[in-house]
Homo-oligomer: A and B are copies of this chain.
């Protein structure tokens, strides 16, 4: 069909002021935070109501036009890149926190709301919404639902999926459905809420969500531990869990990351250390003191060379500079940054880090690794130059070693960023042909014309 017809149709539905189609605008929405994926859409449409989303979907479905839901575009798997042209569906006008139900500890929130804004709003009630991806200050709720985002508190508090209790979703055919609800226990029908959460916009357009909230922890205690051996650091991680302590945060940085951060920040990090662990326990003040003491014992028993306890919030912020600056510093090294999120069972962290180090050497690429040690969600971060074809070949080979290595350790391709386009080549290896067929059957059942974020997560269906 003619592009002008499409634009006019969209303008009729949402109003002229909410439709973009200048070359500049289209370019702006041709990519997200993932390097190497830029595809021009035909139009960028910002609906303001669920009904408008429904009308857009009916039109798109009738005319077989691809639709890509998008929030802030911070995702790291090319999840919002408009691979096959069509409509970028910008959901940022869905920007209301509709209700906070204090009796049932449930918030009703539209998908365009920024995740940090939810937490800022509910702080007055002493409540938290735990999922905290690195992009918490910029990512929209909808994006984190589509990608089932994790973050630093995943081990103790779980990830986005654990807090999404209900959804309003517009299906490919324009049908509006409501899944789940405020009920803690609910086994009426298939768990559609969990199916849509993490489906990367390939099964429906989420417009609203019911989010479970938690009481904020009363106390926290943070510390940093330095290790001469990655094996000892790994053993300390397993040892903490084996001591029946579930820290709110349990992060690891490898030597390459430590050195890079120190080069840029000069905060005095131990550049000869093999690994640093950052640990925070939280909860009841008495328990926190008790757990702190037990963690210190485990760290000592596993040869931590140095442990520093945070004396204040400022001191914690200072100690945690290394973690906060890990990605920005690594990204400064070279023009292009791939933040991967291969994840392994936590007992396999040292094995996995050895695989990463070997891949880095074998293929001569620079990789710094940091991540969420408590849940085995690692971020091997490859810095390179997208314009260097030879280097990109080596980057791909290194990724291949890393992903296959993670799968061989019983891991998964993605702990929190999603599959999108980048990890498609390894999907069949993880899920088998039969597993892929089952997922593709579900995709085709809910989106028979394959217009919802086509080509993502499952590849061609």
Contact = CB atoms under 8 A, between A and B. Distances in A.
A286 interface: yes
Given A184-B377, A376-B184, A103 B414 contact: no
A299 B427 CA distance: 54
Contacts of A287: 283-284, 286-287
A104 B345 contact: yes
Given A176-B434, A441-B445, A372 B188 contact: no
A435 B446 CA distance: 11
A131 to B, nearest CB: 11
A203 B413 CA distance: 25
B344 A183 contact: yes
A343 B195 contact: no
Contact of A103 (B105, B199, B241): B241
Given A184-B375, A372-B185, A410-B181, A439 B190 contact: yes
A148 B187 contact: yes
Interface string A159-191: 101100000000100011111011111111111
Interface stretch (A21-29, A59-67, A393-401, A415-423): A415-423
Given A183-B415, A184-B376, A376-B184, A215 B244 contact: yes
Nearest to A106: B345
Contact of A284 (B290, B372, B375): B290
Nearest to A200: B187
B198 A195 contact: no
Contact of A191 (B188, B197, B414, B446): B197
Interface in A72-116: 101-106
Interface string A186-210: 1111111011011100010000000
Contacts of A431: 177-178, 188-189
A449 B15 CA distance: 46
A376 B183 contact: yes
A368 interface: no
A442 interface: yes
A135 interface: no
Contacts of A183: 343-345, 375-377, 410-412, 415
Name the interface size band of chain A. 35 or more
Contact of A241 (B105, B177, B415): B105
A438 B177 CA distance: 9
Contacts of A104: 345-347
Contacts of A302: none
A418 B106 CA distance: 24
Contacts of A414: 186-188
Contact of A446 (B105, B416, B418, B442): B442
Contacts of A423: 188
Contact of A343 (B186, B283, B435): B186
Interface in A407-461: 410-419, 423, 427, 430-432, 434-435, 437-439, 441-442, 444-446, 457-458
A155 interface: yes
Interface string A340-367: 0001111100000000000000000000
A147 interface: yes
Nearest to A440: B445
6 contacts: A183-B344, A183-B375, A185-B372, A191-B195, A284-B287, A286-B287
